[in-house]
Structure 1
Amino acid sequence: MAESQVPTTPQVRTLLLTDLVDSTGLVERIGDTAAADLFRAHDRIVLDLQQRWRGRLIDRSDGLLLIFERPIDGLGFALDYVRGLRELGREHNQPLQARAGLHVGEVLLWENSVDAVQLGAKSLEVEGLAKPLAGRLMALARPGQILLSATAEPLAHRAARELGERGELLVWKSYGRWRFKGVPEAQEIYEVGEPGLAPLRMPSHTPKAWRDLPLWRRPVALAAETMLLGCLLVGGWFITRPQPAIAFGERDWVVVGDLRNLTGDPRLDDSLEQAFRISLEQSRYVNVLSDLKMRETMQRMQRPDDAKVDRASGSEIALRDGARALLLPTVAEVGGRLRVSAEVVDPRTQTTVYAVSADGKGIESALGSIDDVTDQLREQLGEAMQNVEKTSVPLPNVATPSLDALKAFAVARNVVATTRDREQALGLYRRALQLDPQFALAYADMADLYSSLDNVAKATEARRKALTIPQRLSLQERARIDLLLTQHSSPMAYLREAEQYLALYPDDYRLRGRLGTNQWHQLNDFKRMEATIRGAMKPQAENLEARRYALATALLGQERYEEALAEFRRSRAGGFSGFGVMYARAYDARGEHAQSDNVYMSGTNGRDGWKHDAAVVTWIDRGQWQKSADAADAWLKDAIGANDVLEALRARAAIASVAVVTNNPEARRLIWRLLEAVDADAAAADAIYPPTSTEMRLYAGLLSAQLDDAVGVEDALRVTQSSSVPRDYPTVGQLQQVVMAEQERLAGKPQAAVMRLRPIAKRDDALVAAHWGLMRAEQATGNAEGMQVHGKWLATRRGRVFTEATTTEVLRFFNVAVSREALLSNAEPTANPLAAPAARGATQSAGKPH
């Protein structure tokens, strides 16, 4: 019989466990035949709810075990199940209630073989700590009660609006921290329910679950024992006089100082320090301040780049960045043995609170000794020993058994953090992989480096290679790599899974910042972006001023100009001088172009003046048509010279856009030239960003619509109709809807275009193009009031016009053109909004065709 293969990579899933209350007593009361009829009706309800809420039934007896992709789907199922049981009970004149527990966590999933299923096995198996935790929640619940874990509650609560009006009526209650038998850490428990259906009462203690109450709230019977214990502790303190302690709590931060290598062996200098970090970072209890963050703080302290993080400087870093303790590792030869030790230092007093050590024979013992030392540190800092044992993967497994490979890896990380010489770093990572081809962390770091170079294909390849060696990665690293792989294949899946990842690892501020950027680029959801970025702006986060810049951009996208400018100024004052475009756009949005120029030119990217796409957007917005055409021509020339396929396509889109704006007679031919280039370079461009060719073709359709070219619009839709990109990428999907609406308008069906675009325009994430298309459609139906509403929107949402993002960013050329025209016309209807610049005497030439 073929055996099933159990996977080694956990996946984050939502688990729902339910139990039908007193099912045995029910059968005794109504008899087998009536019970069979009732349970068949029950099963029909379950099947219907599975389909409605996209759940998969794993097991059932008196209860159900289901898994879902999203917590809100599991909650929707549970709420409908509770309501469905009540109705079914009324039909059969029997009280029917269920208990339910909802949890999000890592589980192992595997399909059983066909032979095994035929012999009675389940088709899908689910295992992992998340399963019994969901079971403990379910067992704790009262009849009719739905209990959620602290992981599931914020994700479900945030998405409750997807439940419609019912979601607004739900009651959410916290019942504090509870301890479950077999689970080392206390868990926060929540209830959610509908008034009148849910108990909305504190659960009762069970033999396997009890509240985590402080001593002063426990039964009076403990008072005498507490007094006796207190006397003993006080007496013991005076006898032993312990070292001062650090009030370290779960998820507190530590600074790891530079390793003191007293052996004289240079191989240990960087490698063991990096190994110490890797080993300690496996803990969910202890957070380690990143190398990059420490270097940033050292720069603020005006220390040289090569300065050591010792007791004094490390303590100052800890105080500045909100870390609770400083760890100082040392390696030395003592009595013929290699000793690895670490001191825990109170940064306020710079005194050693305690020290731990481990001895071994020879240099080969160093990695094992580091594991021993970090396990001792975690326990001393308060982490439960059971959790240490569960999450500690030996360093040779989670990193590499080769000290030489680890040395190359450590030096590569230092290069990335200091000189930013990416080619040198890539060479060092390749050297580490030559020494240990199974070094999964090296592949993961290379992938991050390739991502920073916008090389999506190589980043994806490196991440996939890392995941083929899952036993050489920590649980968090595997989850992070798996998440990043979805970023370029399915943005919506990435955004959903990123929120689940952050529920498990809330202190990964780098990924939280990345999520905020993706909420901008994939959704143009500036409110969510603002909330996410604010959550990443913690003292321990690296690149804090870059995140402040992103926060300012989110504020600009909401037309909050003064707040945005204040954050832009703070970001630059804090040392972030790159990416000055959005800072400048905050002034452009208010028509203060001189200030915009000053801000942009004083940034590192603006020293040569407005160039390329920034220049095209600037000169279109200011109505300087010849400058915009010249900037687009120069951009294309530079892109071709650099053999940059994507930039060349974007430059051609800019050239065609300027031609359309200025009513250039060559406009249609330039659009066709753009499409020819897209056809020729689609494979290369899509390898960089998968939606590129589809978005470019739809943009060409939008430009054709501006010219009332029905053939060009039809061709754009025909070529892209089989593409999955509009479904997977929300901004491209919206663009397709706008082009389809323009097709309907041109076909004499403006009311159909209005009905298509009105629901989109009501959304906060609606593209500027959607409002423009609806304005034209309303005009075509004779609805002057509706046209003026959207004309005013285009004239007043200037922050959104400049910040709106898509994959290729070509819509910005369009946005500033239609916004400028709306400003000039004061939102009054015009026969052809984009023809007006030429009518006002603008330069007709949009540049030579290419």
Structure 2
Amino acid sequence: MNAVERVARDNAPAERGGPQLRTLLLTDLVDSTALVERLGDTAAAELFRAHDRLVLGLQQHWRGRLIDRSDGMLLLFERPIDGLGFALDYTRGLLELGGPHNVELKARAGLHVGEVLTWRNSDDAVRVGAKPVEVEGLAKPMAGRLMTTALPGQILISAVAEPLAHRAARELGERGQHLLWKSHGRWRFKGVPEAQQIFEVGEPGVAPLRTPPNTNKAWRDIPLWRRPAALATEVALLAVIAVGGWFIARPQPAIAFNERDWVVLADLRNLTDQPLLDDSLEQAFRISLEQSRHVNVLSDLKTRDTLARMQRAPDTELDRAIASEIAIRDGARAVILPTVAEVGGRVRVSAEVIDPNSQTTVYAEYADGKGAVSALASIDEVTGALREKLGEALEAVEQDSAPLPEVTTENLDALRAYALGEKMYAEAEWNKAAQYFKEAVELDPDFALAYMGILRINVSHGQISEARENLAEALERKNRLRPRDQMYLDAWAVEFGVEDGNVLPRWRMLSELYPDYYAGHVNYAWTAFFQGYLDEALTSARIATAKQNAHADHAHNQVGRILLASGDFPGALESFRKINGGRDANRNHVATLAAMRRFTEAEVALSRLSREELTNSFELIAINVDQGRWQKATSAAKEASSLAEPRDPLLADLFMVIDLAIRTLQYGRDVPATEYLRTVDAALDGVDSRTPYLGDRVYIAMAAAYLGQRAGHHAPAHRALPKLIPLVEASGDPRARQMLEIVRAGQLRLEGRADTAVSNLQTLVDGHELFQVHVALRDALVEAGEYQAALLENDWLAEHRGLAYGEMAGGFVLQAVNVADTTLAGLNSAETLKRISDNKNASLKSEAFIENWPAATLPDHLRRRFRATLPASKQ
């Protein structure tokens, strides 16, 4: 431009262009005057120069045009996402600027998109103080109203700008995926004729996410029925229910949580340069949230299972989108997204509650602290606030919660090791998990949860002595556990005999107080089933089949086993088909097929089971006995006993007694009393009141004495009872007590006091009794001459093949005997009918018996008994 053109331009009136659509951002630095008074002129000048450098850099980065500035700024942008990017960086930059000066810098910001008129002032006007560019139009006061309405640190955005910025948020990279978007409803602004919808947008831990207060220039557009005059009338009309006023005034969460709803904990976003915080703080969030009785955190194991169904790798990052999909698939109400960041020189821990359907942030909480050591206290503060909003009353939060350092550890290295142990546990890497848990207790010897982690692994491996030691360590630190974990530990203490009592009420209490803690339901179902409470066991096991349970397959197996014992064979098979899509057989499936006498199918399923897993030998032995294959049954028992000897003394004793049981069935009274005496002594060797699984130990010994009684020997039980009685009492095991009564009744019967034996055994018949109670009662009834009652007992035995296979008292030590007794019931009925001269029915029973055990396979003593039941012409 030459001199003539420049002079002409300067002397010409300012030209106005046509209306242009632009993004306007208005900001205001909060309490800037007070800041100068606090810092002094020199320090304040230094701070404002740094502020100007920040603004210049952001202006260049986001392609903004600075129109006006004083304590605040007016900027124009081509696109809303550029204005939003500037506002976000400016908000965070202010916090970082204030850190070194120990002040908190915050600004209000309003973002709007609308038509504006712009013109350039003349150079002469600019030289005397005018702005280079003027901006006017209705968009400008709208942005101004948004800015003045905003709280300190808050970015308010109009309904015009919000969808444009929201759609383009992905251009901000990873940060854009985690922005918080919140509607604050419709507002009225002075000078603006129509009500306007306004939104807030910001970063987790930075944005206030609170509704601004009403002012004389901006107020919420409230429906008529909610305005003060109308409310006064309504309050008068509803005075009778004023007690509900607290609930009306209490701020409600945008997601209405019901008690026991589920949440998905997303992976922690660590925006600091301290990788130690990654696993440590994520685990701390989980532990703190799990203290809630109102919501449940989806387990790592279940999350991995859902990722597999999504055809994603198990280590897929659980960001907002992935965690939301998991929540939708598993019926979780919300996603909780934790973040740790450095803001203004402080460590900020925040958590967003996200609606998985829209992936929008419903609300967020944050807390600041100095240094990494403050993180646990900040998590306590954040999760406490979250839990209150998730539906728990403040009093309940305070009552049920303990500070994280008290329930975990103050050592972040120990917490990280524990978190890695839990991760390995979720991946079924048991040995690695144990190593990490052990590392955690080495770093912090008072880390009670880590001892419990080792305990879980040792129990699952059957390493009882080691588990007992872990239990002792955890019990010493019981006060460092959450209430739920304390109850879990107490139940195991009874299970291990460290504390007296019946463990069933302990597991019941845990499952009732924490109905979505599946470990409580599974253990309660197991114990209730063991003690013969099949209905209660079934109810609890079915609860544990919920899709949120990572071990739902195990619960389906439990349901199937209970249905087997109840005699519901189709229901049992249906439950087993739900395990791993029905692709895997298991020993309970085998037992169900055998109980239905579908032996060919049972043996095919059995052939697919590992022979290395010794517990599969129970069904192998029982099926052979059930078909009268005595040699195969004996060989299987001896092989299992020899394999168990170096692995597990308890299992070795169990198979030793099973071997004796087969010989008793096969040879009857030909087995000498010394065999039973020797077996009882071996089973009781080294057993005292402190022996782990004492109930099983004494049950096995009593089973050997009982087998002796069935062979007609009085001496084994006579010698063992004085030692067995106090051990049974010490065990507190209800099944062991029942077995003791069976043995006592056997002694009475052998002593000729069958009437007393009948009377004592009948008191045990309450629907929860052992299978062998009915066998012992039948034998006593026959001796007492009560033949009709004995026949009824035989009918009961023949009809309860499911219980014969499924009953697990004493570690299945009498399973093969139970199974044999369902068939022998026919022979016993034939003998009893013969006694009362009902030869016709005796013959029918004999024929039914021989269909199951062909005469050619019968042992000599059974063949003699069978022939005695036949008519004289057939003998």
Distance 1:527 1:841 in 2: 38
Give 1:708 deviation, angstroms: 0.7
Structure 1 residue aligned with 2:342, among 333, 339, 344? Answer: 333
Q: For the Cα contact (< 8 Å) 2:695–2:731, is it kept in 1?
A: no
Task: Work out which of the residue numbers 759, 767, 772 in structure 1 matches 2:770.
Answer: 767
> Does 1:301 pair with 2:310?
yes
Counting only pairs closer than 5 Å after superposition, residues 373-452 of structure 1 correspond to structure 2 as 373-418=382-427, 420-452=428-460
Give the deviation of 1:681 after TM superposition. Answer: 4.8
Q: State which of 594, 598, 601 in structure 2 corresponds to 1:592.
A: 598
**CA distance, structure 1, for counterparts of residue 682 and residue 595 of structure 2:** 33
Asked if the contact 1:454–1:688 (Cα under 8 Å) also holds between the matched residues in 2, the reply is no
SS at match of 1:723: helix
Find out whether 1:343 has 2:345 as its counterpart: no
Report if aligned partners of 1:253, 1:289 keep a CA contact under 8 Å in 2.
yes
Q: CA deviation at 1:675?
A: 2.6
Equivalent residues of 2:541, 2:558 under 8 A apart: yes
Residues 359-393 of structure 1, C-alpha deviations (whole Å, 9 max, x = no match): 22222222122222212222332332333334332
- The corresponding residue for 1:285 is 294
Backbone CA RMSD of aligned residues: 3.5
Cα 1:565–1:270 change in 2 (3 A) is: same
Q: Could you tell me how far apart the structure 1 residues matched to 2:592 and 2:734 are?
A: 26
Residue 624 of structure 1: which of 601, 604, 629 is its match? 629
Query: Which of 476, 489, 496 lines up with 2:505 in the alignment?
Result: 496
Alpha-carbon deviation of 1:550?
Answer: 0.8
User: Alpha carbons of 1:516 and 1:611: their partners in 2 closer, same or farther (altered >3 Å)?
Assistant: closer
Amino acid across the alignment from 1:682: V
Contact residue 700 and residue 810 of structure 2 kept, 8 A: no
1:749 & 1:520 partners in 2: Cα distance?
A: 33
Tell me the distance in 2 between the aligned counterparts of 1:730 and 1:707: 26
Residue of 237, 256, 264 corresponding to 1:223: 237
Q: Given the alignment of the two structures, is residue 784 of structure 1 paired with residue 787 of structure 2, yes or no? A: yes
Which of the residues 573, 577, 596 maps onto 1:569?
Answer: 577
Q: Which residue does the alignment assign to 1:705?
A: 709
**What is the match of residue 557 of structure 1?**
565
Q: Which runs of 5+ in 2 are unaligned?
A: 1-232, 836-844, 863-875
- Gap change, CA 1:493 and 1:673, over 3 Å in 2: closer
Distance 1:729 1:650 in 2: 17
Amino acid at match of 1:552: G
- Structure 1: which 5+ runs fail to align? 1-218, 237-241
Where does 1:575-654 land on structure 2 (aligned, <5 Å)? 577=584, 580-602=586-608, 605=610, 612-640=617-645, 642-654=646-658
CA distance in 2, matches of 1:611, 1:537: 24
The C-alpha deviation readout for 1:136-157, integer Å capped at 9, x for no partner, is xxxxxxxxxxxxxxxxxxxxxx
Q: 1:795 to 1:726 in 2, by over 3 A?
A: farther
Alpha-carbon shift at residue 457 of structure 1 (Å)? 3.8
Matched, 1:811 2:814: yes
SS in structure 2 of the partner of residue 305 of structure 1: coil
Map 1:30-179; keep pairs closer than 5 Å: none
* Cα distance change, pair 611–670 in 1 and its aligned pair in 2 (3 A): farther
1:255 equivalent to 2:277? Answer no
Q: In the TM superposition, what are the counterparts of 1:8-23 in structure 2 within 5 Å?
A: none
> Greater CA deviation, 450-459 or 440-449?
450-459
Instruction: Report the secondary structure of 1:330's partner residue.
Output: strand
1:751-766 correspondence runs (5 A): 751-760=755-764, 762-766=765-769
Aligned positions, number: 611
1:829 counterpart residue number: 832
The percentage of aligned residue pairs carrying the same residue is 34
> TM-score scaled to structure 1, two decimals?
0.67
**Which 10-residue stretch deviates more, 321-330 or 284-293?**
284-293
Contact 2:567 2:803 in 1 (8 A): yes
Change (3 A) 1:220 1:259: closer
Asked whether the equivalents of residues 606 and 620 of structure 2 are also in contact (C-alpha less than 8 Å), the reply is: no
TM-score (norm 2): 0.65
**Counterpart contact for 1:838–1:844, Cα < 8 Å:** no
- How far apart, CA to CA, are the structure 2 residues paired with 1:620 and 1:721? 31
CA contact (8 A) 1:795 1:826 kept: no
Cα distance, 1:438 vs structure 2: 1.3
Q: 1:223-269 CA deviation, whole Å, 9 max, x = no partner?
A: 378999xxxx99x9xxxxx9992122333221101112222432122
The residue type paired with residue 720 of structure 1 is L
Separation of aligned partners in 1, 2:802 and 2:554: 19
Q: Match of 2:202? A: none
Matches within 5 A, 1:185-196: none
Q: What is the aligned partner in structure 2 of residue 717 from structure 1?
A: 721
Q: CA deviation at 1:445?
A: 1.9
The answer to whether the 8 Å contact 2:618/2:812 transfers is no
TM-aligned CA deviation for residue 686 of structure 1: 7.0
In structure 2, do the counterparts of structure 1 residues 637 and 565 end up closer, same or farther at CA, with 3 Å as the change threshold? Answer: same
Contact 1:332 1:339 (8 Å CA) reproduced = yes
8 Å contact kept, 1:272–1:367: yes
Structure 1 residue 439, shift from structure 2 partner: 1.0
Aligned residue identity for 1:802? Y
- Give the counterpart letter for 1:406 in structure 2: L
Matches of 1:584 and 1:674 in 2, distance apart? 29
Instruction: Return closer, same or farther for 1:468/1:727 CA change in 2, 3 Å cut-off.
Output: closer
Q: Counterpart of 1:670?
A: 675
Whole-Å separation in 2 of the counterparts to 1:658 and 1:355: 67
Distance (whole Å) between structure 2 residues aligned to residue 285 and residue 224 of structure 1 = 30
Task: From the superposition, tell whether residues 697 and 391 of structure 1 become closer, same or farther in structure 2 (CA, over 3 Å).
Answer: closer
Question: Match of 2:442, SS?
Answer: helix
| 8 Å contact from structure 1 (residues 491, 729) kept in 2 | no
Using the alignment, how far apart are the partners of 1:481 and 1:687 within structure 2? 18
- The alpha-carbon distance between structure 1 residues 830 and 460, as it changes in their structure 2 partners (threshold 3 A), is farther
Match of 2:840 in 1: none
**Match for residue 454 of structure 1 among 459, 462, 482:** 462
Distance 1:541 1:574, change over 3 A: farther
Structure ranking higher on relative contact order (CA contacts 8 Å, 6+ apart): 1
CA 1:288/1:840 → structure 2, altered by over 3 Å: closer, same or farther? Answer: same
* Secondary structure, counterpart of 2:494 in structure 1: helix
SS of residue in 1 equivalent to 2:832: coil
1:731 maps to what in 2? 735
Deviation at 1:572, TM superposition (A): 4.3
Report the AA paired with residue 772 of structure 2.
A
Q: Could you tell me how far apart the structure 2 residues matched to 1:227 and 1:818 are?
A: 68
Counterparts of 2:615 and 2:495, CA distance in 1: 31
> Which SS does the other structure have where 2:264 is aligned?
strand
Shift of 1:827: 5.9
Letter in 2 for 1:394: P
> Is 1:694–1:725's contact at 8 Å kept on the other side of the alignment?
no
2:591–2:619 Cα contact (<8 Å) kept: no
Who wins on radius of gyration, i.e. which is larger? 2
The secondary structure found in structure 2 opposite 1:807 is helix
